Amino acid sequence: MTRMLIIGPPGAGKGTQAARISDRLGVTAISTGDIFRSNVKEQTPLGVEAKKYIDAGNFVPDSVTNDMVRTRLAEDDVEAGFLLDGYPRTVAQVEELDDILAGNGQKLDAVLLLTADDDELVARLLRRAELEGRSDDTEDVIRHRLDLYKQQTGDVVARYEDRGIVTRVDGLGAIDDVTERVMEALKDLR
């Protein structure tokens, strides 16, 4: 059984690699963005609560996010393991995830950290913005998102590094090459 996180800056390919890792390891990939969208769409009590914050342009509070993750990690499809993308983002969420897993007699096996050079990420995200018609994704906006990522995740990564479960993999290059580097780095989990 594999229980792991994937962390990386915007544009590092987390979603793409999460799907590939999920396939290869036979675990469920869980994106917190997907959890939010599903709860809002299905108008669950948590989704209704989250929508209030989202519609006002505010961050959804940790309590709501934590409850959504707790509910999702209780579903049957994660019994064989999971790959969590987008959570935890804060030290408080790290502690909450620890509590959720401990309640099930579990712990994290690995944290995959995709790394990438900022200038390369900016170029990649500007290309994606152009292809997808995202006029709001300017270089300034992208660099601001990269700065926020670093501020938010530094302490989270440090917590997991203290536990010795962080594996760093270069997230730049051809998708297949990155996948092979990831799988090689995670070979002890298979």
Task: Give the number of other CB atoms < 10 A from CB of residue 64.
Answer: 19
Q: Single out the residue of 153, 189, 178, 185 nearest to residue 12, CA to CA.
A: 178
CB-based contacts of 61: which residues, under 8 Å, 6+ apart?
Answer: 53
Q: In what order do the strands lie in the sheet with 110-115?
A: 28-31, 81-85, 2-7, 110-115, 166-170
Catalytically annotated residue among 70, 143, 145, 159? 145
Beta bridge partners of 168: 113
CB-CB contact of 163 with 17 (8 Å): no
CB-CB contact of 169 with 114 (8 Å): yes
Q: End-to-end distance of the chain based on CA atoms, in angstroms? A: 9
Residue 14 a catalytic site member: yes
DSSP code of residue 185: H
Residue 134 a catalytic site member: yes
Catalytically annotated residue among 24, 127, 134, 150? 134
Residue ranges of the binding site for AMP: 32, 37, 58-60, 86-89, 93, 134, 145
Catalytically annotated residue among 14, 20, 72, 124? 14
Residue 128 a catalytic site member: yes
Q: Single out the residue of 79, 82, 106, 87 nearest to residue 2, CA to CA.
A: 82
Residue ranges of the binding site for ATP: 11-16, 128, 173
Residue 159 a catalytic site member: no
Residue 143 a catalytic site member: no
Catalytically annotated residue among 20, 72, 89, 124? 89
Residue ranges of the binding site: 11-16, 32, 37, 58-60, 86-89, 93, 128, 134, 145, 173
Catalytic residues: 14, 89, 128, 134, 145
